[in-house]
Structure 1
Amino acid sequence: MRMHLSILRHGGLQRRAKALAALCLAGLLLPLVSAFETSWPDTLAWGLDLAVHWQWFFLVGLILALPVLAFGHRRWVMVAALVPLPWLTAMPATVRGTVGGDGLVVAAANVHVDNESPDRLVRWVGATQPDVLAILEISDTFVQRLGLDDAYPHQLVRPRWDPFGIALLSRHPIVRHAVVDGGGATPRIEAVIDWNGTAVTVVAVHPMPPISAADQVRRDQVLADITARYADHPTIVTGDFNATPWSSAFRVPRRHGFTLTGGLQATWPASLRGLIGLPIDHVMVSRHWTATDHAVGPDVGSDHLPVLATLSPTGAETQ
């Protein structure tokens, strides 16, 4: 056994482990430098944002390298103190409220534009009974087969042939709404619902994935504009953000007091049930809410997993 363990001190293995640890440590520290991105060229900021999403992979790499390095030099054990970094550097989580009374249940599901069968989504919605449901990548065929008119009498549905169809379904009256589509941004729905006498702003979003520096800037600007305008009102922003909780996309929302209701479980791709992947589908709320529950839903025939949150008012004053 001693002979077998001695191989961990082999110079080549130690060098590889050090290189892996250095790469992963740099990746885990990337969210801490995002505050300086505003002064950087767009292309550099874009590259950083693409790298920052992979915190879970950096963490796994560090965990694999540390035992090898610690066997050679015990001082490497101290690096284990950095393992909690992905939790510490992510967008803050919403304060957890106590279960009691009737909460507002909000769900979002990217159903994939090529998915023509809503059956699995309908079963999940029937089991969870969300008050408000945002559907992303909704097509004409999906709308025609959805069959949720009785459960959701208040609907804003804008199907498209491309991945940016969008819908907002509500059990509560929609008193005002706008479908915002302009300036190169993808469509989003901004609505005010009457929830038991309280006016609640709900925004369904699906910005372009950051496949270019310009797309990253537009994504960040959309979320910045929404949260700046609605920070003083009970607001819920939900959908496929194409951004993880470590992304620059959340810099301005964080400044305006917005938080994420969920943990850091991956929602894309759906193939491994969120065990490996990126958390990019979110429910984000203003300071007027606590979250009593958050869950990642089952496979609904898409490459994304849906998300569900139960919210309660904090009693914070509105302006």
Structure 2
Amino acid sequence: MTLTLFLLASLFIALLTLLPLWNHEAWWVRGLDFPRVQLISLILGTLLLAVWLLDLSRPQSLALITLNLACLAYHAWWVFPYSRLHAVEVKASTPDTAMQPLSILTSNVLASNRHADCLIDLVNQHKPDILVTLESDNWWQQQLDTLAADYPHSIRCPLDNLYGMHVYSRLPLQESTIEYLVEPDVPSMHTQILLPNGARVRAHFLHPAPPSPTENEASAERDAELLAVARSVADNTLPVVVTGDLNDVAWSSTTRLFRKISGLRDPRIGRGMFNTFHAEHWFIRWPLDHIFHSHHFRVLELQRLCLKGSDHFALLSRLDLRHGEDNGERRLHPTPEDSARADIKMQNQDVAKSDVPVPAK
């Protein structure tokens, strides 16, 4: 009976491990990209019980342990880059050596949340150059407009469908546009940030809809939006920042494909996971809020901040623009198969890189 129970548990673990290898876009497949850390914990628990309860002299027991170890190794391969044991992808900078700092506070506020004072306190405490809010509606806009004296530049798109977005900036914004790249009710924001030294940074703020039974039944729309932006910035010469709630985890195949196609760096690699969702449930947390950037930057600081009333933590990113320097090694490069896969995803949603605004040269 004990061996049978372990057999069933091991087969269940193997199924959850293998299903994401299937490139099917259904939400119940792509959703299994998320809980890799939770699956690692489940596998470790299963292995400990197996060693304790099973007769290890039996070949069947050793086979089950080997199967679980293989699943453990696979999930660890995806997650390991987001541990401090891994080499960093982006070099660090320090405040006393920073050449041109740029700080961005990204926050999914939760539309029903009425604790705007907490976010405003975070802004006043950390003084980011850019504040990006997601799920912000007209009520949130009224509250955040009190920041106008310190943040005179803004892009506003209040919506009551959970996809409202706002950007408030201390720094001038140029050529700002709001686009609906894939879905007619899911906006994205695109702009240029003008730094004090005259440098321009191309910025894209995204919040694609997730694959879920209550949103989109497949990940197709999310994937196509991310890849259209990736294609657009891939051959860009300006410094680039892409941030937002991407409704995808850092270690998914889609995010990995985004990084390959775009050429952007992930400053979390070698520094930590920075899990931003779910703020209220420690046992189901994963990194949904992201920042990616071009090779022009080093990292000053990454910090997760508590936001009262929201199901997300806020993410504070401080970067240092350092043109022409070795700021870290790009570790992912696209294969022809990757490029073909990206093209197919975009074609299926009738979106192209030309749909993404490009700053005038």
Does the 8 Å contact 1:110/1:304 carry over to 2? yes
**Alignment CA distance shift 1:30-1:309 (3 Å):** farther
Aligned length: 298
Q: Is the counterpart of residue 64 in structure 1 residue 42 in structure 2?
A: no
After the TM superposition, list the runs of 4 or more consecutive aligned residues in structure 1 that deviate by more than 4 angstroms: 28-31, 89-94, 212-215
Aligned pair partner of 2:252 in 247, 252, 262: 247
Q: Is the counterpart of residue 281 in structure 1 residue 289 in structure 2?
A: yes
CA distance, structure 2, for counterparts of residue 275 and residue 211 of structure 1: 19
| TM-score, with length taken from structure 2 | 0.74
Aligned pair partner of 1:222 in 214, 221, 225: 225
Aligned pair partner of 2:278 in 257, 269, 276: 269
Aligned pair partner of 1:95 in 90, 100, 115: 90
Structure 2 segments unaligned to the other structure (5+ residues): 326-360
User: 1:265 deviation in Å?
Assistant: 3.5
- Write the letter of the residue equivalent to 1:97: A
Match of 1:206 in 2: 207
Aligned pair partner of 2:31 in 29, 33, 50: 50
Match of 1:3 in 2: none
Q: Is the counterpart of residue 17 in structure 1 residue 31 in structure 2?
A: no
CA distance, structure 2, for counterparts of residue 194 and residue 200 of structure 1: 7
User: 1:314 deviation in Å?
Assistant: 4.7
Does the 8 Å contact 2:141/2:158 carry over to 1? yes
Does the 8 Å contact 1:287/1:316 carry over to 2? no
CA distance, structure 1, for counterparts of residue 323 and residue 17 of structure 2: 36
Question: What is the root-mean-square deviation in Å for CA atoms of aligned residues?
Answer: 2.9
Match of 1:5 in 2: none
User: 1:297 deviation in Å?
Assistant: 0.9
Q: Is the counterpart of residue 79 in structure 1 residue 85 in structure 2?
A: no
CA distance, structure 2, for counterparts of residue 162 and residue 184 of structure 1: 13
CA distance, structure 2, for counterparts of residue 314 and residue 166 of structure 1: 29
1:258-317 residue CA offsets vs partner (Å, 9 max, x unmatched): 233333242222113x55322211112223223232121103321111111111235359
Does the 8 Å contact 2:35/2:284 carry over to 1? no
Does the 8 Å contact 1:30/1:52 carry over to 2? no
- Write the letter of the residue equivalent to 1:206: H
| TM-score, with length taken from structure 1 | 0.82
User: Which structure 2 residues correspond to residues 302-317 of structure 1 after superposition, within 5 A?
Assistant: 302-316=310-324
> SS of the counterpart of 2:219?
helix
> SS of the counterpart of 1:259?
coil
CA distance, structure 2, for counterparts of residue 15 and residue 172 of structure 1: 63
**Alignment CA distance shift 1:167-1:301 (3 Å):** same
Structure 1 segments unaligned to the other structure (5+ residues): 1-10
User: 1:150 deviation in Å?
Assistant: 1.5
Match of 1:8 in 2: none
Q: Which moved more, 1:146-155 or 1:76-85?
A: 76-85
